[in-house]
Amino acid sequence: MRNAALILGLIGGLWAMTVGFFVYGYVEFVDWFGEVPDLARQVEDPALFRTVSILSPLLAIAGAAMARARALWGGILMLIAAAGIYHAFGFGVFTMFPIVFCGLGGVLAIAAGKPDEEKAHF
The answer to whether residue 120 is domain-embedded is: no
Instruction: Please state, in angstroms and as integers, the Cα–Cα distance from residue 69 to each residue in 4, 15, 59, 92, following that order.
Output: 13, 23, 16, 32
Residue 59 lies in a domain: yes
The predicted model scores a pTM of 0.89
Integer distance in angstroms from the first to the last C-alpha of the chain?
Answer: 16
The answer to whether residue 122 scores a pLDDT higher than 90 is no
So what's the pLDDT on residue 34? Answer: 86
* Residue 23: inside a domain: yes
Residue 121 resides in a domain: no
Mean pLDDT to the nearest integer, 23-45: 90
99 lies in some domain:
yes
pLDDT at 86 over 60: yes
Residue 8 lies in a domain: yes
Number of domains in the chain: 1
36, β-bridge pairs: 40
Q: Which residues contact 47 (CB under 8 A, 6 or more apart)?
A: none
